[in-house]
Amino acid sequence: MNTMNKLKNVKYTNLLINNMTEEEIINYQEKLLQKQLKYVYRNSEFYRQKFNEAGALPEDIKSLMDYHKLPIFMNKAIERESQKESHKRFGHPFGMHLCSSPDDIAFTGTTSGTSGSPTFTYTFTKQDLNFLNNYISHMLEYGGVHSGDRLLFSHALGIYATSSILWGIRSHGVLPIDVDVRGGSKMILQYAQMTKPNAAMMTPSLALHLIDKARESGINVGDFGMQSIFTVGEIGIGIPEIKKKIENAYGCRVYDYLGELGFSCDSDDYYGIHCVAPDLCIFPNDIVDPETKKPIQINDGSIGEMIITELNLQALPRIRYATGDMVQVFTNECPGCGFKGKRIKVIGRTDDMLIIKGVNVYPSAIKRLISNFIPNVTGEIRIVLDTPPPRVTPPLRVKIEYGANVDESNLSDIEQRIKKVLHTEARVTPEIIWCAPGTLEKALTKTPLFEKMY
C-alpha cells in the first residue's frame, strides 16, 4: 500500500454517511426502509399482496431484524409473472409492482444476458435518474474522469441496462462516445482513435479482445492515452492476471463496478466492490442461504445470496428481491485504500452451485483459483457433469488447458499445486483432465463453465 493509494481511498457517495458509525448507517437504512415499505404498500397492488400473504404491515417493520423475517417477495420468475399481469390488465410491461404512474417513466431498460422474455427491471422516473446519477458521478470522479472528458462507452445499447449509466455519465459533464459492440471491434477501435477518449466502459472480455484486435491492425491500445477503464458484468478483473493484462496494455487503472451500488478501488490488488450506496440499497446488509432463504449473519467473509431492497427509488423499487447472485461480503477495512464500509465479491450464480459431499462449490470460484496459475494454465476450464446439478458424485472432474509454453513433463507438479489450492480454498479435491492450449472453445461473451454429459 503506497501513499498515493492512501490518498485515493474510497468514500461513501453520500458524504454524510462517511461521518456515521456502522450502527448509525444501519439506523439510517432502517429509517429509509420504513418510508420505502410504506410507499410501495400504498402504491402497488403487488407489494400490498406480498405483505398480506406474509401477515404483516409495513408499520410492523421497525428494524433490519424485523425485515429479515419477511419472506422473499420477488425473483426473476415472479417479476416476469408480475409483468405479464400488468401487460394484460393495464397494457404496460413494467409489472404490477410499478409504484409510479407509467406516464412518469423517463427511462426503461431490460437486463441483458438472460434467456427468456426480458424483464424491465431498470425502469426509472426522472427523480430516480437524478438520484442514481450521483453514484455514477462519484465513481467517475474517483477514477479521475472529469467534466469535459470523453468516455468510450461500448456496450450493447438499445433497451439494455447499461444505457441508464449514460445518464450518469452525461450528468457528470462527460461526453459518452457510445459505440454499440454489435458494430464490431474494428469500428470500436476506429472511434477510439478518432475521439481520443479519456476513459472507457466495457466488459473485461471486450477490453482484452481489443488489445489483440488492435495489435492485428498495428495499433497499440496504450496509445489511446486512457486514464481509467470501468468494467462490469463479469468476474474479469477479480482475476489478478486479467487485471494486470488490461492495466499494462492500456497503461491505466481498471475498475470493476456493480451498477450504482459500488466499485473497486485504486489499488494494485483487487479487494472487491466497495459498497458506497447504503442509502440506495439495503445490500449488502441482507444475504440469505440460497436454499432455505434464511438470513445469514454477516461476518468478514460470509457467503450468501444477495437480496436487493432498493431505497429512495420511485418507479420500480425492488423489495426483498432474490437476485440469484452469490456474493462474499467483507467487513474489514479495505487493505488497499482503507475504505471502512463493506465490500463484496461476486462468486457465482445460485443456479451454478454444485454440492459435493454436502459442501457448496461455485464453479466461478474454481475458475478464479485456477486462473492464478496463469501462465502455467491458459485460464480456460470446463467442469464435466454426468448428471444435472447441483449434486455431484465425487470426484469433480475439471478440464484445464495448460499454458502454451508448458513442458508436459511438469504437468503432474502443477496438478498437485492446483489440487492443494482447491482443497484449501474451495474444499474440493477434483480429478484434473489436462487439455492442450486452445482446445476448449472460447466465447467473447459468456464462456460456458459446464460440459454437460447428461
To a copy of itself, the closest distance from the beta carbon of 263 in angstroms equals: 24
To a copy of itself, the closest distance from the beta carbon of 147 in angstroms equals: 7
To a copy of itself, the closest distance from the beta carbon of 93 in angstroms equals: 4
Closer residue to a copy of itself (CB): 81 or 413: 81
Closer residue to a copy of itself (CB): 135 or 224: 224
Total count of residues recorded for the chain: 454
To a copy of itself, the closest distance from the beta carbon of 103 in angstroms equals: 3
b (16+ CB within 10 A) / e for 163-201: bbbbbbbebbebbbbbbebeeebeebbebbeeeebbbbb
C-alpha cell read off for 100 = 409510479
DSSP state at residue 110 = B
Residue 19 CB contacts under 8 Å (≥ 6 apart), including other chains? none
C-alpha cell read off for 85 = 399481469
To a copy of itself, the closest distance from the beta carbon of 194 in angstroms equals: 4
**Element at 98 (helix H, strand E):** none
Q: What DSSP letter does each residue of 253-321 carry, written as one string?
A: EEEEE-TTSEE--S-SS---EEE--TTTB-TTS-EE-TTT--B----TTEEEEEEE-B-S--SS---SE
To a copy of itself, the closest distance from the beta carbon of 222 in angstroms equals: 16
Closer residue to a copy of itself (CB): 202 or 370: 202
Tell how far CA 397 is from the center of its chain: 27
Closer residue to a copy of itself (CB): 154 or 323: 154
Angstrom distance (rounded) from CA 314 to CA 281: 13
Residue 107: closest CA among 171, 61, 39: 171
Q: What are phi and psi of 145, to 5 degrees?
A: -105, 120
To a copy of itself, the closest distance from the beta carbon of 158 in angstroms equals: 4
Q: Provide the 10 A C-beta neighbour count for residue 3.
A: 7
The angle subtended at Cα 215 by Cα 217 and Cα 246, nearest 5°, is 140
Closer residue to a copy of itself (CB): 157 or 298: 157
Closer residue to a copy of itself (CB): 201 or 383: 201
To a copy of itself, the closest distance from the beta carbon of 87 in angstroms equals: 7
Contacting positions for a copy of itself (CB under 8 A) = 83, 87, 91-93, 101-103, 105-108, 117-118, 147-148, 150, 156-159, 163, 170, 173, 175, 177-180, 182-183, 190-191, 194-196
User: Which residue type does 445 have?
Assistant: T
| 408-to-43, 176, 189, 261, 441 alpha-carbon distances in Å | 65, 48, 38, 45, 21
b (16+ CB within 10 A) / e for 293-321: eebbebeeebbbbbbbbbbbbbbbbbbbb
CA contacts within 13 A on the Cβ side of 426: 24
To a copy of itself, the closest distance from the beta carbon of 159 in angstroms equals: 5
Closer residue to a copy of itself (CB): 189 or 326: 189
Closer residue to a copy of itself (CB): 90 or 450: 90
To a copy of itself, the closest distance from the beta carbon of 308 in angstroms equals: 22
Closer residue to a copy of itself (CB): 146 or 340: 146
Q: What DSSP letter does each residue of 426-444 carry, written as one string?
A: H---PEEEEE-TT-S---S
Which neighbouring-strand residues pair with 322? Answer: 307
Closer residue to a copy of itself (CB): 191 or 434: 191
Our separate counts of H helices and E strands in the chain read: 12, 19
Closer residue to a copy of itself (CB): 148 or 301: 148
To a copy of itself, the closest distance from the beta carbon of 212 in angstroms equals: 22
